[in-house]
Amino acid sequence: MTSRASHRIRVLGAVLALVAGGAIALVAGQQAVSPRPQPAPKREMLQVTVAKIKPELVDQWLEFQKNETIPMLKKSGLKSRDAWTTATFGDGFTYAFVTPIESFAQYDGDARPVRALGADGARAYGEKNRRFVESTRTYAVQTRPDLGHDVKMTAPPKLALLSDIQIAPGKIGEFEAFVKSDVVPVMRKARVGYSVAQTTIGGDTSAFSSLIFYDSFAEIGKGHPFLRVLGAEGERQILAKAAAFVTHLERHVIRYVPELSFTARPTT
């Protein structure tokens, strides 16, 4: 998982939540039914922090995350965090943490370690944390449920195929239309969860990413949905069409890390 690619990783709850199905209206004196129009899926703002951990300190860092960082974040009032890491194919020892942005006003005032631990405690926490970390970068991204395909899931997937997509200047509209008309129907036929997001702050705003969710490498090994649904020639054609506005494409495999993820229980 490269730093360029890995920052555009989604919070599962926001991306995979199913849009409510159309309610059925019964018309008096008729047997015909019609769905009520549904509002467009709501876009979510997310913070994504990518951390490259020093290889020789990974085990210690993992314990530090479980024993100190997660308790601190919960105490600070953070409602949830989803963690991902490279799964064999990508930049090793790299982790991405995704948290909700309820309002940009949340960045005013003290940082979370100060809120939870006080000034002295936050200083000690920071000193300990910095010895593990080689580099970090934080981004704001916006989910694009209008470009995705949801599937009902009872638990987070184990793996995801992450595609890092760079769009040519002035071609974002063409890319969005292409995803809706060509990509989403393939994902629907393949019956896979598919999500898209766009960087808004902290990186290139013409950069998108997509995730296809899987539960095993064996499923990934069966081929990309383009190949499985359209065949080799169909895959070649759809990639050729995308080449008119996509200037760069990378694919990586990432793994969800439940032990570093959490959803805080609501207080009563």
Residue 198 in 3-state DSSP?
Answer: strand
pLDDT digits 0-9 by tens, 213-255: 999 999 999 999 999 999 999 999 999 999 999 999 999 999 9
C-alpha span between 99 and 64 (Å, rounded): 19
**Domain map (residue ranges) of the chain:** 3-16+41-260
Which helix or strand (DSSP H or E) is residue 105 part of?
A: none
Q: 205 and 197 in contact (C-beta within 8 Å)?
A: no
* pLDDT over threshold 80, residue 135: yes
* pLDDT over threshold 50, residue 16: no
C-alpha span between 61 and 52 (Å, rounded): 11
Q: 73 and 117 in contact (C-beta within 8 Å)?
A: no
Give whole-number Cα distances, 256 to 14, 39, 202, 220, 266, in Å.
Answer: 15, 30, 23, 15, 23
Look up tokens 């210690």; give the residue: 60
**pLDDT for the residue numbered 37:** 54
Q: 11 and 82 in contact (C-beta within 8 Å)?
A: yes
Q: 122 and 83 in contact (C-beta within 8 Å)?
A: no
User: In this structure, what DSSP letter does residue 149 have?
Assistant: B
Please name every residue paired with 149 in a beta bridge, in sequence order, or none if there are none: 194
Structure tokens given for 48: 């994504």
User: In this structure, what DSSP letter does residue 204 have?
Assistant: -
* pLDDT over threshold 80, residue 39: no
Look up tokens 């793994």; give the residue: 255
C-alpha span between 98 and 138 (Å, rounded): 10
User: What pTM was estimated for this model as a whole?
Assistant: 0.81
Minimum mean pLDDT among 27-36, 151-160, 169-178, 254-263: which range?
A: 27-36
For 104-137, b/e burial (b = at least 16 CB within 10 A) is eeeeeeeebbbbbbeeeebeebeeebeebeeeeb
pLDDT digits 0-9 by tens, 58-79: 999 999 999 999 999 999 999 9
List all residues 6 or more positions away from 61 whose beta carbon is below 8 Å from its beta carbon.
53, 54, 132, 133
Angle of CA points 117, 118, 123, to nearest 5°: 85
Question: Percentage of residues in the chain with pLDDT exceeding 70?
Answer: 84
* pLDDT over threshold 50, residue 3: no
**Chain centroid to CA 96:** 9
The one-letter amino acid at 111: A
User: What CATH number matches the domain at 3-16+41-260, 2.40.40.20, 3.40.50.880, 3.30.70.100, 3.40.50.300?
Assistant: 3.30.70.100
* pLDDT over threshold 90, residue 33: no
